[in-house]
Structure 1
């Protein structure tokens, strides 16, 4: 204290600060921070030498926290008999450790629409620059069709991590799976400091892409169509259904061994009454779709498709025309939607 002064409203007291004492205190804080940071850095180097990239990354992020107040200054330290610029060395080692990781996975997988992708098809391997597998590396997954609930995985002791997709529902010909090293989760585990997290969020991480080739399932169509007890050779309902399925981009096969789904149509007409000269006819329709395992995946039935004409046979043909319109307007779309949703919908 060098002086003081007061009036009715205020009291002033003057201090003189020692620049030497201040510098000494700052240097002591800096030295303590550098020592703590250097200890984390040493653990990181030991982890790198031991082929443990995850621990190395954790320790390197932790090494930044003590020296954060001195980011604007140059901090030197002696490490293994060598003078280093500590902050620069930590960032450089972080960058090289991330860049040394390689993430490999399948370049492409084929899957039928409505079917899932098993985990043995989606296995990814993380290795270091020397080809050694890296365990406990977190990976983050994104899928262009939709967000995945299981979008975080961690590599095992063999450096591998796998996941599955329950069903591919995209009507596109292909989708993309992107997998990358989840450095963000490592940073969050190592520090809660927002500023450090923001700086490290800019780091580029290893990634891999897998193209999902979406194969359309094949349909086999069979039908029994009768009009007032007589078989119809042209089978208008089967032809309408085939045409609509082809328009939707799904192939039709005549070979049962190739079929992923079998569509069976049963239809018949019967006379239900007469109004004046007009004969009334009602058509009964049943559409059943089964998968290769014989499980029913879709069914539709109705007996209220009506038509009339002064000739019974023509009335029946008119009923078939109405039934064909119903098939084209909603039945085909319904069964395709059911198939796209996958086995969980059956």
Structure 2
């Protein structure tokens, strides 16, 4: 009995030992694998001294190291805060705040391209992913930024002084160009206050350059003659316009870049890129279109050209759009085109009492501002219409007729054909051929609108 108890006890001890070893061996292996990872991979480091960037990428990618580096750099940049000071001039210009997010994003993008002296702390890979650890001294970054800011300030101040000198010589366009160069030299610091010394006073460089431009624009006067013109939609002779650019003291403004555009419509205009040596420019208005019959031609200084700004540069365009600029305006009245219609419409060779196609055309063109004449004299266009139906076939009690329409538009002044079209095989269905022919005329309305009227409208306008 005693021997049996000892035996059972020994077996229990042996079994417990085996289980203990097995239990210890599994987590020990897992623990060893986990311990191989650096602490910066397990948990993101926090530092008051460095900006930190950690990036990773799957090693299955062919360029995984470059991808991880880019991710780490973007992560580092995300720690650098960019804000627009509430006391900055940019803050005042962007009153609704719509531009600040764009500005801050742009500055971060610029910082990504220009950031220097960051260092690689460590790398790690586990066969599946690759990690890289960057850091940048906050003190070093602040020093770099202050140096870049000072360089930008000095460059901008040099442009500002040249602009002032050009303004004193009354070289107005050159002065504005210099002020723009000063503004763009400090573009990365619009959200801050960069100051310069002006006559012993400390002033904002951005404010001084901005109002240097605005003050010149306030002195510019643009006069255009005539200020009101009338055009026909067709066969209008080009209207010659003369622009004169001066400053408040009546000094001519030579070689001023010009920008022209239409409001409430569109048109075709020949406009020189700048005023000439006498501050004048000859414009040729060739064509104008407006749904309301009246539109406006606007001529203004081309600040985009003066500042040499690209359309794709959102920051610089934002600043350009904040200026109040002088404008010269021409009011253009467009006379409605007059159309004379002669229509011969038949059903199975018999003349209709009322010309159906003609009425369709008049209804549609009236909506587009076209007027109609009872005689060809004085009309801008003479439109001839021929329409007839013919019996096509019969299917049981159903009779089928086909309608054909031919339309030709002539310019009576030149006797030149300006439009010609044929609408064929428009079918009508009824209990006899005559009624089927009238049914075809009814169904022709959509075809007349979509094809004939559309082509005629293009010819008229």
TM class by smaller structure? 0.5 to 0.7
CA pair 281-92 structure 1, distance change in 2 beyond 3 A: closer
Structure-2 residue corresponding to 1:20? none
Say if 2:281 is the partner of 1:160: yes
Counterpart Cα distance in 1 of 2:256 and 2:294? 28
Per the TM alignment, residue 223 of structure 1 is displaced from its structure 2 partner at its CA by: 1.5
Helix, strand or coil at the partner of 1:140: strand
Say if 2:437 is the partner of 1:319: yes
Helix, strand or coil at the partner of 2:250: coil
Per the TM alignment, residue 235 of structure 1 is displaced from its structure 2 partner at its CA by: 3.0
Per the TM alignment, residue 253 of structure 1 is displaced from its structure 2 partner at its CA by: 0.8
Say if 2:338 is the partner of 1:218: yes
Per the TM alignment, residue 239 of structure 1 is displaced from its structure 2 partner at its CA by: 3.5
CA contact (8 A) 1:228 1:270 kept: yes
Per the TM alignment, residue 93 of structure 1 is displaced from its structure 2 partner at its CA by: 4.8
Per the TM alignment, residue 178 of structure 1 is displaced from its structure 2 partner at its CA by: 3.1
CA contact (8 A) 1:142 1:148 kept: no
Helix, strand or coil at the partner of 2:322: coil
Counterpart Cα distance in 2 of 1:66 and 1:317? 80
Structure-2 residue corresponding to 1:16? none
User: Could you give the per-residue CA deviations for residues 30-81 of structure 1, whole angstroms, max 9, x where no partner exists?
Assistant: 99986775454223311x1xxx432232244456688999964451459xxx
Structure-1 residue corresponding to 2:418? 296
TM-score by length of 2: 0.51
Q: Give 2:301's match in structure 1, choosing from 181, 196, 203.
A: 181
Aligned 1:40-189 pairs, distance under 5 A? 40-46=163-169, 48=170, 52-62=171-181, 72-76=194-198, 93-105=212-224, 106-113=226-233, 115=234, 120-121=239-240, 123-143=242-262, 144-145=264-265, 153-158=273-278, 159-160=280-281, 162=283, 164=285, 168=289, 170-188=290-308
CA pair 204-317 structure 1, distance change in 2 beyond 3 A: same
Counterpart Cα distance in 2 of 1:301 and 1:153? 47
Per the TM alignment, residue 183 of structure 1 is displaced from its structure 2 partner at its CA by: 2.0
Per the TM alignment, residue 263 of structure 1 is displaced from its structure 2 partner at its CA by: 1.7
Counterpart Cα distance in 2 of 1:231 and 1:197? 65
Larger radius of gyration between Structure 1 and Structure 2: 2
Structure-2 residue corresponding to 1:17? none
Q: Give 2:324's match in structure 1, choosing from 200, 204, 221.
A: 204
Say if 2:451 is the partner of 1:334: yes
Per the TM alignment, residue 222 of structure 1 is displaced from its structure 2 partner at its CA by: 0.5
Per the TM alignment, residue 331 of structure 1 is displaced from its structure 2 partner at its CA by: 1.4
TM-score by length of 1: 0.65
Counterpart Cα distance in 2 of 1:318 and 1:341? 32
CA contact (8 A) 1:270 1:282 kept: yes
Structure with the bigger RCO (C-alpha within 8 Å, sep 6+) is: 1
Helix, strand or coil at the partner of 1:295: strand
Per the TM alignment, residue 206 of structure 1 is displaced from its structure 2 partner at its CA by: 0.9
Per the TM alignment, residue 221 of structure 1 is displaced from its structure 2 partner at its CA by: 0.8
Q: Give 2:358's match in structure 1, choosing from 238, 243, 246.
A: 238
User: Could you give the per-residue CA deviations for residues 268-318 of structure 1, whole angstroms, max 9, x where no partner exists?
Assistant: 3334455667765433321222334322324123144345544xxxx3354
- For structure 2, list consecutive stretches of 5 or more residues without a partner in the other structure: 1-151
CA pair 126-307 structure 1, distance change in 2 beyond 3 A: same
Structure-2 residue corresponding to 1:263? 383
Helix, strand or coil at the partner of 2:307: helix
Task: Compare the two structures and name the one with the higher helix fraction.
Answer: 2
Helix, strand or coil at the partner of 1:97: helix
